[in-house]
Amino acid sequence: MSQVKTNNYLSKGIDTDTFRGLPPLHKEVVKDFFKTVEEESGGIIDRVEGAIELVSDKHNVNTSILYNYIENEVGA
């Protein structure tokens, strides 16, 4: 199974209504999240969950910022 790549997403810039609607700090959190997911190893679920924890701690924000962003992007 091939590894999910987020760097293509980042290289083009994140250009969605959901992303554009975020405040500046949250945009930085989301960008850092995608970079961290790319750098982590393991299965996608573990990489996403680990990245959410790491990035939230790094930026001193609640994990709900990233969980809400992901839910809004995927339409959940």
Domain ranges of the chain: 7-74
Q: What is the pLDDT of residues 26-60, one digit of tens each?
A: 999 999 999 999 898 899 999 999 999 999 999 99
Beta-strand ranges (E) seen in 6-56 are none
Supply 73's token pair: 């992007």
So what's the pLDDT on residue 1?
39
Q: What tokens does 30 get?
A: 């989301």
Q: Using an 8 Å Cβ cutoff, are 41 and 47 in contact?
A: yes
Q: What own/partner pairs with CB < 8 Å and gap ≥ 24 does 3-10 have? A: 4/37, 4/44, 5/38, 6/34, 6/35, 6/37, 6/38, 7/38, 9/34, 10/34, 10/35, 10/38
